[in-house]
Amino acid sequence: MKDREFLLIVTSVILTLIFSNLSLFLKSFASTPFASPEIKQAAGNIEINGFRKSEQDFWSKIKDINFDSLPKEPEIPPVKTEIKAAVEPPKPANSKKPTPAKKPTPAKPKLTIPYRKFLFIGDSVMFDLGIQLQYTLKKKYNIADTKIDYKVSTGLNRIDYYDWYARTRQILNNYQPDVVIVLFGANDRQNIIDFQGKARAVMTKEWQKAYQERVDRYAKLLDSSSVRKVYWVGQSLPNKSSYLKAFPIMNAIYKNASKSSSKIEFISTWETFGQAGKFVPVVANKSGKRGYVKNNDGLHFTSHGALIISDLIVDEMVRDKILKAPTKK
């Protein structure tokens, strides 16, 4: 584009020189190889003085031309090609890409250690119950590793007569049972000496507080041991009025102590031999067989009564998955 513009400018200048100063033109043209001898001769006759000055003025004007200020031909703007992206259909609001559901990791089966060793602790009432428990565990659940540890006329009251705390520590260390079943109370209905050495009359508020301290201490001993489960059996309804007032209070104390430990579970037997709050001497067992449940003293079980209480405890152990019936071959 600039070569074309320059050619037009030079042509215009030459024509201007031709028409405005013919002598200067002839003088300049004569110096080119296109001039004929006649033109060269004619140019030679022209006065050279004015020529030099005119020639210098001519080239000065050529140098002074600002080619950038000259009008340019309009350029054709480049065609813009817009590449439009493919229009995606609008997504519905709150639409999320569904994430593939994770496959649940199958839980590893927990290895359960069977309960094989059972210890029965208490007074002479526990002896009758323990014999029946041993028989049931052996016959129905093939558990022969059981032990009865009882002492006649004892309990948690007269520690000066028989220290069940020391005896229990000893037998737990020696036997290492998985399950302990406890039954105390028939011999504890008497005055008590509290931990401050003060005598408290039976069944008073002070007596109840002192006896609660005794029971709590024994519960903590069992809870801190290696025993895996403890069943504390409550007193059943007696047939003698002298025990009717004491046993409900004592059962409440045993139950309250069991709440402080996840190991200890209280089993209530109060209504097992009762109806409408009154003692019933003859009761049917699970098989429907009826029989006397207590001896004449109103405290100790008959074999029939021991079977009923034993079934009550065993059923609770089955619910707790302590016991499982052996697979028949």
Count CA within 13 A, CB hemisphere, residue 287.
5
Higher pLDDT, 122 or 76: 122
DSSP letter at 295 equals -
Q: Any idea where the domains of the chain sit in the sequence? A: 2-69, 118-319
Asked whether 296 and 308 are in contact (CB, 8 A), the reply is no
As to burial, measured by CB atoms within 10 angstroms (0-12 exposed, 13-18 middle, 19+ buried), residue 233 is buried
The predicted pLDDT at position 108 comes to 65
Neighbours of 215 (CB within 10 A): 22
Non-local CB neighbours of 306 within 8 Å, separated by 6+ positions: 128, 129, 131, 132
Confidence class of residue 236 from pLDDT cuts 50, 70 and 90?
A: very high
Express each pLDDT in 127-159 by its tens digit: 999 999 999 999 999 999 999 999 999 999 999
The predicted pLDDT at position 58 comes to 46
The predicted pLDDT at position 25 comes to 57
The predicted pLDDT at position 242 comes to 85
Residue 52 pLDDT > 90? no
Residue 62 pLDDT > 50? no
Residue 35 pLDDT > 70? no
Higher pLDDT, 209 or 55: 209
Gap between the Cα atoms of 165 and 220, Å rounded: 10
Confidence class of residue 51 from pLDDT cuts 50, 70 and 90?
A: very low
Asked whether 255 and 185 are in contact (CB, 8 A), the reply is no
Asked whether 281 and 245 are in contact (CB, 8 A), the reply is no
Gap between the Cα atoms of 267 and 42, Å rounded: 150
CA distances from 324 to 135, 143, 314 (A): 16, 10, 10
Average pLDDT over all residues of the chain: 82
Per DSSP, which regions of the chain are E strands? 118-122, 146-150, 179-183, 192-193, 199-200, 229-233, 264-267, 274-275, 278-279, 282-284, 290-292
Mean pLDDT (whole number) for 156-170: 97
Express each pLDDT in 75-120 by its tens digit: 555 545 454 444 555 555 555 566 666 667 766 656 679 999 999 9
Is 3.40.50.300 the CATH number for 118-319? no
CA angle 164, 165, 166 (to 5 degrees): 95
CA distances from 9 to 5, 59, 322 (A): 6, 13, 117
Asked whether 285 and 291 are in contact (CB, 8 A), the reply is yes
Mean pLDDT (whole number) for 239-258: 94
Between 71-75, 122-126, 135-139, 225-229, the lowest mean confidence (pLDDT) is in 71-75
Gap between the Cα atoms of 254 and 200, Å rounded: 19
Express each pLDDT in 180-198 by its tens digit: 999 999 999 999 999 899 9
The predicted pLDDT at position 261 comes to 92
Q: Phi-psi region for residue 219, left (φ > 0), alpha (ψ -120 to 50) or beta?
A: alpha
Residue 67 pLDDT > 50? no
Paired sense of beta strands 192-193 and 118-122, if any: unpaired
Express each pLDDT in 265-280 by its tens digit: 999 999 999 998 899 9
Mean pLDDT (whole number) for 223-248: 95
For every residue of 145-202, DSSP letters joined together read -EEEEE-TT--SS-TTT--HHHHHHHHHHHH--SEEEEE--TT--S-EE-TTS-EE-T
